[in-house]
Structure 1
Amino acid sequence: MKLTWKDGVTTAIAALVVAVYVLFLSGADVVLVSSVRGAAAAILVLGVIGCGYGAADELYKAPKSPAKLTYTVIATTLGIAALGGGLIALIFASEVALGVLFGATIGLWSLATTRHITNTCRAPQVTGDVSEARKEETPL
């Protein structure tokens, strides 16, 4: 499977996430990212937007092969870690939780991009005229 424009959008969002985190770590005096809570809010918003473009909704509709099940478990675990880290960073201003949020967000992006490149979890392709195939299967 080749990469699509959605992968380009998610890559740009991932680059913004990296920029926010690097600005925070460097102590830059930027309005939004100079505090843990601000950086966490920015990364959470960017992550939600990126999740919409990199989502694998077809994996939740079709029967799961072992590869699809493994991918689903890993992606779900990373998503829960990102959300948990983000909430803890927002509530308690924890730099460790911000690091977890950053790592899980970049992990989700790299996992989705790798899946798109290798096509390991593709949905089954339907070819031909489905209505004609059903007519042939239906006894008269």
Structure 2
Amino acid sequence: MRLTWKDAITTVVMAAVVALYVAYTQGSDLLLASSVRWTTVSILVLGMVGGCALGAADQLYTGSRSTFTRIYTVVTTVLGVTALTAAVIGLIAANEVALTVLFAATATLWLLATVRHMLPVTAGPSEPRTIIDHEVIDPEKPVRH
């Protein structure tokens, strides 16, 4: 695959998440980073906009998938559920540990998605071939389909 404009936007969103989290840990008076709850809401909303809304997770759950894609899907699903659970705990209990878990899960999801988009796509046994075998064997021979 390759990086797209969506990856650029999610990187900007992730930079905002990092800035908010750092502002909170430094005791900032900014409204969105002034308390555990406000910071949790901010990171949750930014994560949903930057990750969920711009993502293409539906592609991971449809069609044939390689072993790498299956493992990636499981890992990212667990991280997503962890982030959501941490956000709920952070909102209800105003728990700083939950906020830290939410931040770490969000950052890890962004990193995994970005690295995955930088990896080259290789045709696996379950994916359709793009060229016909005889064209590879004898490229000079005219092909009639």
Regarding TM over 0.5, the answer is yes
Tell me the distance in 1 between the aligned counterparts of 2:50 and 2:81: 15
Deviations 1:69-120 (A, max 9, x none): 0000000010001000011000000000000000000000000001100145
Contact kept in structure 2, 1:68 and 1:121, CA below 8 Å = no
Deviation at 1:59, TM superposition (A): 1.4
* Bigger helix fraction: 1
Relative to 1, partners in 2 of residues 1:67 and 1:81: Cα closer, same or farther, differing over 3 Å?
A: same
Percent identical residues? 49
Q: 1:101-120 counterparts in 2 under 5 A?
A: 101-119=102-120
Relative to 1, partners in 2 of residues 1:76 and 1:56: Cα closer, same or farther, differing over 3 Å?
A: same
Segment drifting more, 113-122 vs 27-36: 113-122
TM-score by structure 1 length? 0.84
Segment drifting more, 117-126 vs 17-26: 117-126
Relative to 1, partners in 2 of residues 1:26 and 1:122: Cα closer, same or farther, differing over 3 Å?
A: farther
The count of corresponding residues between Structure 1 and Structure 2 is: 129
Relative to 1, partners in 2 of residues 1:109 and 1:121: Cα closer, same or farther, differing over 3 Å?
A: farther
CA RMSD of aligned residues (A): 2.2
Tell me the distance in 2 between the aligned counterparts of 1:65 and 1:81: 24
| Equivalent residue number for residue 29 of structure 2 | 29
Segment drifting more, 78-87 vs 59-68: 59-68
Q: Any unmatched runs of 5+ in structure 2? A: 132-144
Relative to 1, partners in 2 of residues 1:106 and 1:125: Cα closer, same or farther, differing over 3 Å?
A: farther
Relative to 1, partners in 2 of residues 1:122 and 1:71: Cα closer, same or farther, differing over 3 Å?
A: farther
Structure index of larger Rg: 2
Deviation at 1:62, TM superposition (A): 1.4
- 4+ runs deviating over 3 angstroms: 119-128
Contact kept in structure 2, 1:86 and 1:98, CA below 8 Å = yes
| Equivalent residue number for residue 66 of structure 1 | 67
